[in-house]
Amino acid sequence: MKTVLIKTTLTAALALSASAAATTYPLTITDDLGRKVTLKAEPKRIISVLPSSSETLCAIGACDKLVGVDDYSDYPQQVTKLPKVGGLYNPNIEAIVALKPDLVLISQYGKLAEPLAQAGITVMAVNPETYDEVFSKTLVLGRLVNREAQAKALVLKMRQDIARIEILTKNVVKKPTAYYEIDPTPYSIGPNSFMGVLLTKAGARNIIPASMGDFPKVDPEFIVKANPQLILGVDAKTVAARPGWNTTAAVKTSRVLDLPAGLGTILSRPGPRLPEALRGLAKLVHPGLFK
């Protein structure tokens, strides 16, 4: 009798929770282009032109709503089977329209909003850029697609997984100064970007000051003068060929590390694999913690 009562209570609680979490439509949200966008009903046919949005939708149980993705969405494996609609700066608008979406998730960059709106398609810019926005935009996506409870659960899980890694790296005595290269131009990451926050959480000290911005192009002489103890994102041979870089502590101690296959992609996506990205980065910075 007691078991039946517990099951009944639990079922009622879950039903109440699901009901409370259901999105009410029509739903009006101000998107990342500053536009007020209204969804008249729960979207059933969605196109995502950002890999991070594609991954987030799948992580909150809305993968089956996707009918098309951008050329770079490749995770989870399910999205690789969907029609491709181009990239951020070379979208195939005809292909997007032909798929008859009731919602297209775009970046605030590129120029997709106007032509698609003119075609009568609902367009929403959801574009996380900071560490905190990775979580807040996940909740926005959950609300858009009527998966609020799943989005909240995902955010909680991500924060818990990140906290477990931070326990290992937070109290490390020797945190190396680090330069992280995302492009050989060279471009790097500022401490306030989501990638910069991950680098700090991984137990490194970023040589790039916040005043340079989130993803600055850096003068190579600045990097030589900063003398990082760790260089990430580029191989040792390339670094050794650059004028003056062989004088850095990172080169002298063989602490120049290219990223393992796949990690660079995960690190560049402000989405649900943030904890996985942090763990991979922390292993490079402090390999001894993960033996």
Query: Each residue of 187-206: pLDDT tens digit?
Result: 999 999 999 999 999 999 99
Give residues with Cβ within 8 angstroms of 34, minimum separation 6: none
**Cα 113 to Cα 1: distance, rounded to the nearest angstrom:** 58
Is residue 52 a contact partner of residue 271, using CB atoms and an 8 Å limit? yes
Instruction: Specify the 3-state DSSP secondary structure of 219.
Output: coil
pLDDT tier for residue 21 given thresholds of 50, 70 and 90: low
On the question of pLDDT at 33 being above 90, the answer is: yes
* Other Cβ atoms closer than 10 A to 80: 11
Of 34, 154, 153, 31, the closest CA to residue 104 belongs to 31
pLDDT tier for residue 31 given thresholds of 50, 70 and 90: very high
Query: Each residue of 76-106: pLDDT tens digit?
Result: 999 999 999 999 889 999 999 999 999 999 9
Is residue 155 a contact partner of residue 132, using CB atoms and an 8 Å limit? no
**Cα 112 to Cα 198: distance, rounded to the nearest angstrom:** 30
Cα-based torsion angle of the residue sequence 98, 104, 108, 112 in order, rounded to the nearest 10 degrees? 20
What's the average model confidence in pLDDT over 257-281? Answer: 95
Give me the domains of the chain, ranges plus CATH numbers. Answer: 27-152 (3.40.50.1980), 173-285 (3.40.50.1980)
Q: What is the pLDDT of residue 203?
A: 98
Q: What is the pLDDT of residue 111?
A: 85
Give residues with Cβ within 8 angstroms of 29, minimum separation 6: 36, 37, 39, 124, 140, 143, 144
Instruction: Specify the 3-state DSSP secondary structure of 257.
Output: strand
Cα-based torsion angle of the residue sequence 26, 31, 35, 41 in order, rounded to the nearest 10 degrees? -20
Query: Each residue of 58-73: pLDDT tens digit?
Result: 999 999 999 999 999 9
- The H or E element containing residue 114 is helix 113-118
User: pTM for this one?
Assistant: 0.90
